Amino acid sequence: MTQVIGTLKARLAVWLLVMVSGLGTLLLMEAYYSTQRAAERAFDSQLEAAALTTADSVQWEGSTPVVRIPPAALQILATAHQERVFYAVLDHDGRRISANLAISIPSAGQAAAAIEPTWLDLTQAGTRWRLHGREYDSAGWDIQDPVQIWVGHTMSGRQVLASELFERAIIRFVAMVLLAGILMLLAMRVALKPMRQLRHRLRRRQADDMRPLNARVPEELREMVEALDTLFTRQRESRDNLLRFTADASHQLKTPLAGLQSTSELALQSRDPDEWYRALSDVHDGAKRTSRLAGQLLSLARLRHVEEADECLPLDLRKTLHDSVLEWAQREVAMEHDLGLAELPVEPMIIQGQAWALRELLGNLIDNALRYTPPGSEITLGLNTIGNHIMLYIEDNGPGVDPEIRPRLFQPFERGGRQDTQGSGLGLAIVDTIAQRHAAKLQVKERRPRGLRIEVHFPAAGEES
C-alpha cells in the first residue's frame, strides 16, 4: 500500500517560506535601522540650520552678548508634530545669556561643543530631547570669548518620520513576498509538469501494455522512468513466459484429452462388450495420465510464477527424504517395485530449503524412476556428504538412459528419447527448477552394471546465504 508523505509542493513551499521569512527578518531589521538613520539625518540638519541662524542673531552690547532669536530659527525647529523647542545661548563661563527652557546642559556636552559642533541625546522630566550645540566665535568684538549656542527639540517628529519610512519598507516587502509566492506557484507548476505528464501517461496505459514508456523527462525523473521500464520489461517477460507456458500446457493437455474423446466415441458406436472393456481401460489409463500431467503442470507453474512466495528455512534433509520415500513406498504405483532408502547418515543434513518444493523434487524423481523402470526394479534413495556439499541420490537398476540424451533430460517435454505415451516429460524439468532454486546442481550418471543414477548436490546450510 502506498503511503502518502505530504506533497512535493507543500515541501517546496515550506522550505521557501522558511527561507523567505529568515531573509525577510534580516531585511526588515536593516530597513528599520536605515529609516531611523534617515530620519535622524533629516532632523539633525534642521537643528544645525537653526543653530546657525541663532548664531547670526547674537549681538553684542558692550561686552554683553544679547540674543534675539529670530522667528525663522524657531520655525525651522517647530515641525508639524507639536514639538517642543529649546534654545539656549551660553557665555564663556557656561552662564545662560538667553534660554527658553530650564534644561541643564551637561558639562561634558559643553566641553565637547567647545571643540566642535556636537550632538546630544538626553532625557529630562520624562521627555527625550535631541540637542545640538556649537560654539560661536566672537572674534572681532571686544571680548574674545566665544559663546555656545544650543538648540534642541523633542523626538516625535523623528519618530513619525522613521515609522512612515519603515511602514513603506514593510509594504514593499509584503508585496514582494506575495509576488514571489505567486511566481513560485507558477514555477512549481511548470517544474512539476513532467511528473504530471508521466502520471497521465501511466493512467492512460492499457493494462496489458508492457512497452517501454518512451517519455521525455528531466534528469531527476530518469531513474524512476528507467526503473518503471525495467519493471515493464520484467512483467512482459513474465507474461510472455506465462503465455508460452499456458500454450504448451494446453497443447500437452489436449493430446490425452483428444485420445480420451476419440476412444470413448468409438466405444459408444460399438455394441461389443469386449470393445467397451478395451476402450474403458484405455480411457482409464488416459485419465490417469492426464491428471498426473495436470498436477505436474500446476506444480511447474507454481514453481515458476509464485517465486519466493515463502522463504527458505534450514531443514534436515534426512527427514524430508525419509518421509517422502515412506509416503511413495505405500502408494499403489510402487507396489511392484522395490523402492527403498539407503542407510541415512547419523548426523543431521541441514540445508536451506523449502520443504514443499523438496518434497515435489523427490516425488518427481521417484515417480520418474517408477515409471521408467520395469516392475521388480530396485530403486534406492540416499544421502551423503561430499566435501561441503550434501549429495542426495536416486539410483535404479533399470535400462538407463542413452548418454547422448542425458544432457537434454531436464528440458520440459523431453522424454529421454522415449516416444511412448507414458510420461509428459515434465518431471525432470520440475526437478531442475527446484534444484536451481536451492542452488543445487544436478548430475545424471550411469550406474554399474546397469541403470541410472541422478545426484542432486546441495550446498550445506551456511555455505551460501
Sequence-distant (6+) residues with CB within 8 A of 275 are 266, 267
Task: Locate 416 and state its grid cell.
Answer: 529421454
The residue (of 10 and 306) whose beta carbon lies closer to another protein is 306
Furthest-apart CA atoms within the chain: distance in Å: 168
261 binding another protein? (CB under 8 A): no
The residue (of 226 and 336) whose beta carbon lies closer to another protein is 336
Closest Cα to residue 8, out of 317, 240, 314, 224?
224
Sequence-distant (6+) residues with CB within 8 A of 408 are 414
The residue (of 9 and 359) whose beta carbon lies closer to another protein is 359
322 binding another protein? (CB under 8 A): yes
Residue of 112, 184, 329, 460 interacting with another protein (CB under 8 A): 329
Q: Which stretch binds another protein (CB under 8 A): 90-98, 232-240, 339-347, 430-438?
A: 339-347
Binding string to another protein for residues 358 to 387, with x set by CB under 8 A, is what?
-x--------------------x-------
The residue (of 40 and 338) whose beta carbon lies closer to another protein is 338
Which residues on neighbouring strands pair with residue 383, listed in sequence order?
Answer: 392
Q: Which residue in the block uniquely carries the three cell numbers 527652557?
A: 101
The residue (of 282 and 338) whose beta carbon lies closer to another protein is 338
Residue of 341, 350, 439, 460 interacting with another protein (CB under 8 A): 341
Distance between CA atoms of residues 318 and 384, nearest Å: 10
257 binding another protein? (CB under 8 A): no
Task: Locate 327 and state its grid cell.
Answer: 509416503
CB of 323 to another protein, least distance (A): 10
266 binding another protein? (CB under 8 A): no
Sequence-distant (6+) residues with CB within 8 A of 437 are 303, 307, 354, 357
Distance between CA atoms of residues 84 and 96, nearest Å: 19
The residue (of 48 and 282) whose beta carbon lies closer to another protein is 282
Sequence-distant (6+) residues with CB within 8 A of 441 are 435, 456, 457
Q: Which stretch binds another protein (CB under 8 A): 61-69, 169-177, 319-327, 440-448?
A: 319-327
355 binding another protein? (CB under 8 A): yes
CB of 390 to another protein, least distance (A): 17
Q: Which stretch binds another protein (CB under 8 A): 84-92, 190-198, 232-240, 320-328?
A: 320-328
224 binding another protein? (CB under 8 A): no
CB of 464 to another protein, least distance (A): 25
The backbone region for 391, taken as left when phi is positive above 0, alpha when psi lies in -120 to 50, beta otherwise, is: beta
Q: What secondary structure does DSSP assign to 75-134, as a single string?
A: HHH--TTT--EEEEEE-TTS-EEEESS-PPPPHHHHHHHHHS-EEEEEEETTEEEEEEEE
Contacts 24+ apart (CB under 8 A), 180-183: 180/20
CB of 293 to another protein, least distance (A): 11
The residue (of 233 and 291) whose beta carbon lies closer to another protein is 291
Counting runs of H as helices and runs of E as strands, what totals does the chain give? Answer: 10, 14
Residue of 219, 274, 343, 347 interacting with another protein (CB under 8 A): 343
Sequence-distant (6+) residues with CB within 8 A of 375 are 336, 337
332 binding another protein? (CB under 8 A): yes
330 binding another protein? (CB under 8 A): yes
Q: Which stretch binds another protein (CB under 8 A): 37-45, 75-83, 200-208, 323-331?
A: 323-331
The residue (of 329 and 405) whose beta carbon lies closer to another protein is 329
Contact call for residues 416 and 378 (beta carbons, < 8 A): no
CB of 329 to another protein, least distance (A): 5
The residue (of 44 and 338) whose beta carbon lies closer to another protein is 338
Sequence-distant (6+) residues with CB within 8 A of 32 are 166, 169
Phi, psi of 386 (to 5 degrees): -125, 110
CB of 381 to another protein, least distance (A): 8
The residue (of 152 and 353) whose beta carbon lies closer to another protein is 353
Considering only residues 281 to 310 of the shown chain, the ones binding another protein according to CB under 8 A are: 287-288, 291, 295
The residue (of 147 and 293) whose beta carbon lies closer to another protein is 293
CB of 330 to another protein, least distance (A): 6
| DSSP H or E run through 17 | helix 8-56
Residues that bind another protein (CB under 8 A): 287-288, 291, 295, 322, 325-326, 329-332, 338-344, 355-356, 359, 380
